[in-house]
Amino acid sequence: MADGGGCITMDWSKFFSMGGYALYVWGSYGISFVLLAGEVLMLLKRKRNLARRENPQPATTETRLNTSLQGIQ
Amino acid sequence: MSNRRINWYKYAAPGNFYPLAGKMIPFFAVPAAILFIIGMYVGFFVAPTDFQQGESYRILFIHVPAAWMGMFLYVLMAIYAGIGWAFNARLASMMAQAISTTGAIFTFISLVTGSLWGRPAWGVWWVWDARLTSTLILMFLYIGFISLQSSIDDVRRADRAGAVLALVGVINVPIIYFSVQWWNSLHQGATITAKSFKMAPSMLAAMLIMLAACWIYSIAVVLVRVRYIIREREQEAPWLTEAVA
């Protein structure tokens, strides 16, 4: 990056080291990404729970119970 | 004056808002993802290295938009909660509840990234200075609002209690905003004001693109969440079984 905009290949190790601040910079973006992605995942989980509650299927619990009983035998 | 007037009150009814919100979600979710990518590209590859802070200043491209979102969303949440309380509007209260989670997440991001920026810049993870402390109080206000609402079984009573807390807590937002002017603070003052900005244009561009991405992302997740809140709260409503099926 120091040799200006003319270069096409760039030094990735230098880029990832962030001038010695890698832990702080990537830590910040990593935590932010995990939190926002976590928010989206929690919404998807909420959607699944809602769908399950709105269309209850008693058969699934029964089959699940049967398979667990088979596991014991 | 046109004779065709849009009846805005129509969309105050959850039954009419639910399908509308569903149609709007992709128009916010997709641009949000694209803007995050563009913002990160400009922030890491176009914006130059800061001569004082080196590369660590790149944290600010997420820190500053997240801090702004934490404050904006709090005010928005309080307005919705207040409307829901004053006009007995169910949907407004549901919007306040939907906004609170996203606002809390952005406030938490601003606190964590601020700490990670402060360690190399100031040499400390945390100081009890006016801006940091008032932002921590904002985080507690969000947590208080969310836990107060979830602790009351009657949803409309929970909405009213939450609205009181949200509206009283609004006083904290100007305190955060002006804290760097009112008190001696380690935190730097506003870099972007209406009259000027003290940074390279590409740095400003990265920050504004990231802010736009955070805004549009917030609208998308709030619309998704408010639809789930509607479905959870209005389980017996006949319109809902038609809309979901």
Alpha-carbon distance values, B193 to B71, B106, B112, B116 (Å)? 17, 22, 25, 25
pLDDT of residue A67: 57
Measured between CB atoms, does A29 come within 8 Å of chain B? Answer: yes
Q: Give the integer Cα–Cα distance in Å for B19 and B243.
A: 7
Measured between CB atoms, does B217 come within 8 Å of chain A? Answer: yes
pLDDT tens for each residue of B8-49: 677 788 888 999 999 999 999 999 999 999 999 999 999 988
Number of CB pairs, chain A paired with chain B, less than 8 A apart: 69
pLDDT tens for each residue of B175-186: 999 988 888 777
pLDDT tens for each residue of B158-173: 999 999 999 999 999 9
Measured between CB atoms, does B244 come within 8 Å of chain A? Answer: yes
CB within 8 Å: B59 and A40: no
Comparison of pLDDT for B194 and B181, the residue scoring more? B181
Which of B161, B131, B164, B144 lies closest to B103, judged by CA?
B144
Q: Give the integer Cα–Cα distance in Å for A20 and B202.
A: 22
pLDDT of residue B180: 85
Measured between CB atoms, does A37 come within 8 Å of chain B? Answer: no
pLDDT of residue B244: 67
Question: What ipTM, to 2 d.p.?
Answer: 0.87
Query: Using a CB-CB distance cutoff of 8 angstroms, which residues of chain B are in contact with residue A46?
Result: 225, 228
Q: Give the integer Cα–Cα distance in Å for B57 and B63.
A: 10
Helix, strand or coil, per DSSP, at residue B50: strand
CB within 8 Å: A25 and B113: no
Query: Using a CB-CB distance cutoff of 8 angstroms, which residues of chain A are in contact with residue B107?
Result: none
pLDDT of residue B16: 87
Question: Which whole number is the average pLDDT over A32-59?
Answer: 89
Question: Which whole number is the average pLDDT over B197-226?
Answer: 92
DSSP conformation class of B42: I
Measured between CB atoms, does A47 come within 8 Å of chain B? Answer: yes
- Which residue's entry shows tokens 């995942």? A41
pLDDT of residue B158: 96
pLDDT tens for each residue of A1-40: 444 444 556 788 888 888 888 899 999 999 999 999 999 9
pLDDT tens for each residue of B150-160: 999 999 999 99
The Cα of A56 is separated from the nearest Cα of chain B by a number of Å equal to: 14
Query: Using a CB-CB distance cutoff of 8 angstroms, which residues of chain B are in contact with residue A31?
Result: 109, 112-113, 116
From the list A15, A19, A24, the residue facing B117 with the nearest CB is A24
The answer, yes or no, to whether residue B220 has pLDDT greater than 60, is: yes
pTM of the model: 0.86
Measured between CB atoms, does B117 come within 8 Å of chain A? Answer: yes
pLDDT of residue A6: 47
Question: Which whole number is the average pLDDT over B100-114?
Answer: 97
pLDDT of residue A14: 85
Lowest-pLDDT choice from A1-5, B137-141, B214-218, B239-243? A1-5
- Within 8 A by CB and 6+ apart from B218, the residues are B69, B73, B99, B102, B106
| Minimal-distance CA residue of chain A relative to B223 | A43
The answer, yes or no, to whether residue B99 has pLDDT greater than 90, is: yes
Measured between CB atoms, does B231 come within 8 Å of chain A? Answer: yes
CB within 8 Å: A39 and B58: no
